[in-house]
Chains A and B, each alone.
Chain A
């Protein structure tokens, strides 16, 4: 279709940057930092180009022809023993309305976090090399359409994250890093099992007419492709699809993080350096919900239908539980971490609605949570850089000392509590509209609207404790924002504002995909009910 392999470019560019950094001398700190910023900057430009060429009318999801920027060729092909046939893995990338917003988000947040990494002061070379590797992993997850490739990127991003927290983190960094690593790996195991199960259950017909097992996500979405006896095949009366669904869901839920798998998040956030917190909240958490939307939903539509009530329930628990926990925190970063738990609950609630408004809201909320929470963590970073403490009760009256900073803080806080005119409102409203339209989860939706109130509660309380009131004299020397901090905060603020006023920029992007998805889910429902045993 097109000549330039944009997706490969945007995925492997950071890897290229990493090699450059590894070649640079350790002492040339400026160059190392700059490479990191320039590479991620180019990524943003590439993402912009992809956006400009993106065709809004194509749906994607279960139709390979309507994916865009597709790159597909045979990657691994091994002829093995007869009963296994040929092992075949494709290098298969492409985007649709589900992944495109997240791809742009990743490029943007990576860039911002690279700027924010400027203040890292030891082992720079290692840090930036790891960082760029991480970016490759993240982008890769969002563009791969082959399960195998997906899994590789999924694991690829784990390792640098482990080191980034474990080496450049705070006082309890080892604990946090190991917790993060093991927890995520625990989830990956489930993912891997299901992946292999799926592989052995579905076949794809090659050009020469032979049928081979496949990792192709899109092929896996079509029930026709499954073998009669596959362990995860809907045609097999004794299939284990339900178990597989739960396993895969848990694997992704850990990443979201869904209650009760969320406790790695506060620790990881508190210990991680600011830039990594930004990445963690801005991009990594989205992988969980993205995974559910991309894999769980279309591959197991019939089980999704059965379980929407539970998904919504856990979403609601996330929303309210996260908000209440946030209210009790004394550490600024922990508070934001729990607010993330709460906000990701909205995504789950929206997904569970299985209708256009809800899923649009969920995907949009993923994007908005990315920008807003990134801003919140940057804000904490600003204050931590200056005061070296994050205790909410250590401050007070900072608005007097740092008025412009406080302006940005209020902006971000109000965005987080869903003030109309800022992007968070639209996504939350759509999530609620969608979820409420689904009869099954209506009651849960009404209960979770409490989250709006609680969110406002802890955010405003924080605003008051840290920024309002009399200035704590200890901090009367803190300078206001510098140029670098403007460079990070202003773009995010502008995006939040623009998407709040005219959300169609984003909603149109995902609309046809979301509609395709909803239609597909509804259709498969009838298909599956026809082969019920």
Chain B
């Protein structure tokens, strides 16, 4: 059994990223898409922390990870508010039906 190294973290983070991306692309529900975004953010967080731990960057990685967490919270709040408004206007949160951007 080998010791857990940087690569493992990276693998986990890529899996998380892929899952998040998959969620964003495939889910119809807007809330689920948001959740996908959270996954991606967190995968990035893992990467930051991992590099901070194994790289020679001091605390920078951890600091940015903290920022990202805060940002993610804020983003979630705003995004949910948007989703609520979408629902109010279109009576749906299915992203396939909301293609106003095309026009």
The answer to whether A and B touch directly, with their CB atoms under 8 angstroms apart, is no
